Amino acid sequence: MKSLPFFILITFFSKFSFAAYLGEIKGDVFVKNQDALSWNKLDENVKGIKVKNKDEIRTARASSAEIIMDDGSRVKIAPFSYFRMEEESPSSVKLNLIAGKVRNWVKKFSKKFEIKTPTAVCAVRGTDFMVAADIEGNTKVEVYDGSVLTGDSKGAEILVKKGEMIDIGKQGLGEKKNNPNPPQEMASSLGDKKEAARKELYGEISKDAVIKQAQAEMQSAEYQNRKTAIDAYGLRVRMEEYIVRPAENQFKYVVLNTRKDSFNFGKILFTFNSSLPKDLTQATKNMLYYEGSAAPQWYLTEMNSVISNTYDKVTEDAWGGKMVPDNASAPETWTHFFANYGVYFAGPSQSSENGGLGRLLWKYSDSNNNNIADSGEFTFLGNRTVTAVTSLSSYQKKYDFNDGSSMIATKINPSGDDVFDNIVRNEYSDGTWINTRDYLLFDDGKVASFSDFSSSLGGTSKSDIADRLNFERVYESSLFQGRKIDLEFSAKLLKDAGLLKF
């Protein structure tokens, strides 16, 4: 038998010299090398890409990736995961799961295999197990075969055997339990893109996670805008905004704010009744109001949003969206209406309430199906339902609740009625209060007034004016422990995407 030429032999065997590589890829998978400044989206049809030490891998919604080691061990990365290949050598493999979920099939009698999360370390030699880590610092380990030596950040260790599971939090190891769950194939969340997008929106508020998500999504963003402006308090703000489509009937708007000493962000997920057109403005231009004898082709069915400073957050959850005609028998105009709507506030202590949405401030449900949010259909903080609403003045209302408590809602225009600077303050009888302040301002920080628009600003068009305008929303609350959420976003990107008309 003839021997192989030397250079072919070298090339052939180099593929197997302790080098991990990517196997099956599904959906949107991104890789960033140690010295790279940006993420590289991988082609799911290409196999065998080498994974080097310090490479980071990120999977988006409905996406997964498989890493194959030179000894035949495999790691499958689930959707919404951040993963780093710390080190692979002839004697050991060290992995870092920053957030998300991985399943590991480690060959028996192979090299030392170790996987770390923010709160746990798992060391094995031959087993089948799953590790999950969330952004709150919690880790879960499930063992399907063999055993896993699991340790926490304090140095405590415990052996988790086949059929067992354990939770590890910031406080350390939990109790070992029998595992009732079947082996996770990392594919259960691949099918429902809509639900995956919603979970990402509400579950991801750490600065690192938000920035990594944004870096990956900006590669395929449909609309983008970057600018630096001055906010209403004289601070310089770097704004980064973009719009992407998580699923065929969804689009997501994201804005990031970086100031000298703070980071704030906002994300809104819009879900429609059917697949969106290639030109997104064809759907957005009519999604709140439409003139015609028949309802528009596309309308909103759900809306989910979160605004956060990475510690505190305000979330809104709406569903049951529809277009309501002005006259059912002979419609001329259609107005959008959500049958269900809820607003939640949370500091760190309230972040896990209501499935991670936060503490409920108010919600309504159109229980009588009349397409109107009646006062009796509202529920406020503490599960209180409204029994009466009293106008105390033109700027103040009192809400009485079924338990005898009350809330005062006050609207203030601190800079005068002709200036776009408005405050709404809600004060509950239990001491909880919420302050929401809205500005419309120019890039130089000047708050706009009605006179600015009546003078036509030197004859420039309304579209040109929009490119110089920004909105700013500031949330303060007794739940935020002295912090505030302060988000500025441009009128330009909203205009370009058809969300704002001028």
Give the confidence band of 321 by pLDDT, cuts at 50, 70, 90.
very high
Same domain (yes/no): 69, 217: no
How many CB atoms neighbour CB 258 within 10 A?
17
Tell me the three state secondary structure of residue 376.
Answer: helix
Percent of the chain whose pLDDT exceeds 70: 89
Nearby residues of 120 by Cβ (< 8 Å), 6 or more positions away: 131, 133, 139, 141, 150, 151, 152, 153, 168
Q: Which string of b and e fits 50-79 if b means at least 16 CB within 10 Å? A: ebeeebbbbbbbbbbbbbbbbbebbbbbbb
pTM of structure:
0.63
Same domain, 163 and 258: no
Inform me whether the pLDDT recorded for 238 exceeds 50: yes
Domain stop point among 178, 213, 242: 178
Residue 137 lies in a domain: yes
Q: Is 283 among the domain residues?
A: yes
Looking at the structure, tell me whether residues 215 and 123 fall in a common domain. no
Cα–Cα distance measured from residue 300 to residue 302, given in angstroms and rounded to the nearest whole number: 6
> Where is the domain boundary, 123, 151, 178?
178
Long-range residue pairs from 282-288, CB within 8 A, at least 24 positions apart, any chain = 282/498, 283/498, 284/497, 284/498, 284/499, 285/498, 285/501, 287/336, 288/335, 288/336
Whether 250 and 164 share a structural domain: no
Q: Token pair for residue 273?
A: 């009744």
Q: Are residues 211 and 326 in the same domain?
A: yes
184 part of a folded domain = no
Domain boundary among 178, 207, 223: 178
* Length in residues, the chain: 502
Answer yes or no: is 482 within a domain.
yes
Q: Find the CATH number of the domain harbouring 101.
A: 2.60.120.1440
Give the pLDDT confidence score for residue 190 in this predicted structure: 40
* Residue 186 within a domain: no
d(CA 364, CA 383): 12
Domain that holds residue 442: 193-496
- Does residue 354 surpass a pLDDT of 50? yes
Query: Are both 173 and 236 inside the same structural domain?
Result: no
Same domain for 215 and 102, yes or no, is no
Count of domains forming the chain: 2
Residues 339 and 429 in one domain: yes
Question: Using CA atoms, how far apart are residues 45 and 35, in angstroms rounded to an integer?
Answer: 25
Average pLDDT rounded to a whole number, residues 56-61: 86
* pLDDT at residue 434, as a whole number: 93
In a domain, 183, yes or no: no
- The predicted structure's pLDDT at residue 20: 82
The verdict on 124 and 211 lying in the same domain is no
* 421 belongs to a structural domain: yes
pLDDT at residue 309, rounded to an integer: 95
Q: Look at the block and give the residue holding tokens 């063999």.
A: 146
In a domain, 150, yes or no: yes
Cβ neighbours around 279 below 10 Å, total: 10
- Could you read off the pLDDT of 147-204 as tens digits, one per residue? 999 999 888 999 999 999 999 988 899 999 998 877 876 654 444 455 566 666 766 6
Where is 226: in which H helix or E strand? Answer: strand 223-230
Asked if 111 and 215 sit in the same domain, the reply is no
* CB 203 within 8 Å of CB 134: yes
Question: For all residues of the chain together, what is the average pLDDT?
Answer: 85
